A = this chain, B = another copy of it.
């Protein structure tokens, strides 16, 4: 039975990447050592991390005045690190678009030296849409405006990045980094956990513009962006194997034709599923059509019993991790870069069969 893994993260990885990692797991490039056994100060690992950065810079077209950091702790640690580094004794503005934006906001509010303000929210409609951000909402003195480019749980996404003028835009891009053609220069800081589109869990990428690096050292060295930039992500031992896996994923994406190609592929996959939802009398999307995510697609019937039956029967057919998050209910299909088109086609076929058999219940 073919397994299709719709997990929201950690998520499906490209098969050629896993095969390559398997092949050289005990002997990396004839060294007689596993990548996991390499000293992070060895020339072999230094080449891996340098190439990972080079590939990511090329894929995302990252300008030279941005640093690329390979850190740990997930986006959740960045929820604290961003305000600590950028907004102490300043104002930090946030847009609330759902579960992940809320976590970022809560972490900023926990820091008493930061004046955290939520300037727009779609909570009124259970986060089914992206609020409009107009320049008059922005306080000129703010240290930054924070957005969540894609809500993994809610399934909404910014189709257009707000223009914030001189106010640095900070983005949690965990669930759609490398899936969309974003312009890095529109952002001051981008951060993302790796476990959706870049590699295994345990690696966090931070892309930060030079002039936003903290001038004063932070009280916690591991959270200090300038220190991490000065040390090229090697202030301490980085998550070496995860960086190696990310490098392999970046190579795979490069070979496929980079972001322009994967974007087309992602649009094809998402389009297939949204079309099936839209023509169905049983399934529906809970979110605003204009703000639909390309990577995380919640859908549901109007019956919890039917949702559960669908998830159960789907799993029996090899469709794994389709259960939606409890805050939205129903189902969710996460279609990251490595998820294959055939899997979406198979799901759509299964949905049609299910609707015929159970639609009238």
Contact = CB atoms under 8 A, between A and B. Distances in A.
Interface stretch (A178-186, A199-207, A285-293): A199-207
B37 A12 contact: yes
Contact of A37 (B13, B74, B238): B13
Given A76-B235, A221-B110, A237-B74, A13 B42 contact: no
Contact of A10 (B37, B111, B195, B199): B37
A46 to B, nearest CB: 13
A72 interface: yes
Nearest to A222: B77
A42 B220 CA distance: 33
Contact of A76 (B5, B19, B195, B221): B221
A202 B70 CA distance: 11
A22 interface: yes
A200 B42 CA distance: 15
Contacts of A80: 219-223
Interface string A105-130: 01100111000000000000000000
Nearest to A31: B3
B11 A37 contact: yes
Contacts of A223: 80, 220
A111 to B, nearest CB: 5
A217 B199 CA distance: 31
A224 to B, nearest CB: 9
Nearest to A334: B39
Given A236-B75, A242-B239, A201 B40 contact: yes
Contacts of A32: 1-3, 5, 318, 320
B111 A219 contact: yes
A168 interface: no
A198 to B, nearest CB: 12
19 contacts: A10-B39, A10-B240, A12-B37, A18-B26, A33-B320, A36-B245, A39-B321, A72-B72, A72-B74, A72-B202, A76-B222, A76-B236, A80-B223, A110-B218, A110-B220, A112-B219, A200-B241, A202-B202, A220-B223
Interface of A: 1-3, 5, 7-13, 15, 18-19, 21-22, 25-26, 31-34, 36-40, 42, 72-77, 79-80, 84, 106-107, 110-112, 193, 195, 199-203, 217-223, 235-242, 245, 318, 320-321
Given A3-B33, A110-B220, A239-B239, 5 more contacts: A19-B26, A76-B235, A79-B221, A106-B221, A239-B242
Which 5 pairs show the lowest CB-CB distances between chains A and B? A202-B239, A3-B32, A80-B220, A76-B236, A72-B72
